[in-house]
C-alpha cells in the first residue's frame, strides 16, 4: 500500500508490517497496525465507493483539530489502493478517565464552540462541503439563518427519507413542525463549529485519561445541537454540563428545544437502521406539533 504523505509524517519508506482487526463502527473495517518504524497506527478500510466518506472525515477531523481546543487524532494518509479506500491515522491508546475528566471535556467543548471560525465557513451556518452523519448523507448548504438551515438541511431531508414510515396524520404534523420551526428554535448569538455526532461512542479517553473526539460530522451551527445529542443516548456526567455552562451560559428554554435537535439524529437512525427508532420519532413529532 502506497501511503503518499506518510513518509513525510513518520519517516521515509514506512510500510505496514501487520494489522489486527479492532472495532471501528458499523460502516468500516478497522485495524490497529504496526508500522515498519515500530509505531502503531489506526487504519480504516472500505470499498472504493467509500473514498468520499474518508475524505470528508479527514476534513472534519482537521477542522476540529485546527481549533486547538481538544485532542483529535492526526491524519497520516488517505487514498485508494488495491480496490479499497483507506484512512490511516494516529493510533490513540485508550485509557481510563483521569480525575477531572468530565470537567476537562466540558471546558474543552466550550472552548471549541467559542473558537474563531475558519474564513471558509465563518459567519454562516453549514460547511464548505456536504459530508456524512454516520453512513447517511448530510447537506451543509451555507445559510445565514440557523433556523432556516436546520429546517432545510437537517429536518426536511430526513423527514422526506422517512416519509414511507408515516401515515397522513404524522406527515401533516411533520409539515406543521417545519412551517413553525421559528417558534421552537432560536437564533444563537454566534455560530459555532460543531462535532455534529457527539454521543458517548465518539468520545474516548487517551492513555493519560484525557478526552479525545473521533468520528465527527462537522458543520457550523448552534452549540445547543451538540449538547442535545450528548443527552440522547444516556447522557454525559453532570460535571460535564456544569463545566460547559460555566464557560458558555445556558440559554433559557434549552429543554424545550433539545428534542427537536435530537429528532434529526433519531430520523437518521430510523432511515439507516429501521423501525426500532420509529416510536421515538413519532413521539417527538406529536409532542412538537401540538
Residues with a known catalytic role? 197
Three-class DSSP category at 217: coil
Three-class DSSP category at 203: strand
- CA atoms of 182 and 236, how far apart (whole Å): 28
Residues 92/202, Cβ–Cβ less than 8 Å: no
Question: What residues contact residue 194 under an 8 Å CB cut-off, 6+ apart?
Answer: 113, 218, 219, 220, 221, 223, 225, 226
Question: What residues contact residue 64 under an 8 Å CB cut-off, 6+ apart?
Answer: 70, 72, 112, 193, 195, 213, 216, 218
Determine how many CB atoms are found less than 10 A away from the CB of residue 266: 22
Question: Scanning the structure block, which residue is given the C-alpha cell 416519509?
Answer: 163
CA proximity to 279, closest of 201, 166, 203: 166
Amino acid at each position: 500500500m502506497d501511503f503518499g504523505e506518510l513518509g513525510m509524517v513518520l519517516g521515509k519508506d514506512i510500510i505496514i508490517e501487520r494489522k489486527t482487526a479492532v472495532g471501528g463502527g458499523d460502516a468500516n473495517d478497522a485495524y490497529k497496525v504496526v508500522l515498519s518504524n515500530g509505531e502503531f497506527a489506526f487504519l480504516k478500510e472500505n470499498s472504493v465507493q467509500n473514498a468520499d466518506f474518508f475524505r470528508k472525515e479527514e476534513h472534519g477531523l482537521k477542522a476540529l483539530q485546527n481549533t486547538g481546543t481538544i485532542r483529535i487524532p492526526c491524519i497520516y494518509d488517505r487514498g485508494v489502493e488495491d480496490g479499497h479506500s483507506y484512512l490511516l491515522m494516529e493510533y490513540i491508546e485508550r485509557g481510563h478517565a483521569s480525575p477531572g475528566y468530565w470537567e476537562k471535556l466540558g471546558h474543552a467543548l466550550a472552548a471549541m464552540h467559542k473558537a474563531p471560525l475558519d474564513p471558509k465557513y465563518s459567519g454562516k451556518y453549514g460547511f464548505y462541503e456536504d459530508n456524512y452523519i454516520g453512513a447517511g448523507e448530510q447537506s451543509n448548504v451555507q445559510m445565514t439563518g440557523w433556523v432556516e438551515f436546520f429546517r432545510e438541511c437537517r429536518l426536511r431531508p430526513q423527514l422526506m427519507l422517512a416519509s414511507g414510515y408515516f401515515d397522513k396524520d404524522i406527515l401533516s404534523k411533520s409539515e406543521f413542525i417545519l412551517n413553525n420551526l421559528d417558534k421552537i428554535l432560536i437564533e444563537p448569538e454566534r455560530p459555532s463549529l460543531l462535532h455534529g455526532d457527539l454521543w458517548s461512542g465518539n468520545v474516548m479517553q487517551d492513555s493519560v485519561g484525557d478526552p479525545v473526539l473521533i468520528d465527527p460530522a462537522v458543520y457550523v451551527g448552534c452549540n445547543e445541537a451538540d449538547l442535545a445529542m450528548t443527552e440522547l443516548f444516556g447522557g454525559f456526567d453532570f460535571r460535564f454540563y456544569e463545566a460547559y455552562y460555566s464557560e458558555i451560559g445556558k440559554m433559557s428554554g434549552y429543554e424545550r428545544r433539545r428534542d427537536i435537535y435530537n429528532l434529526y439524529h433519531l430520523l437518521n437512525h430510523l432511515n439507516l437502521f429501521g423501525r426500532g427508532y420509529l416510536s421515538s420519532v413519532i413521539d417527538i413529532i406529536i409532542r412538537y406539533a401540538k
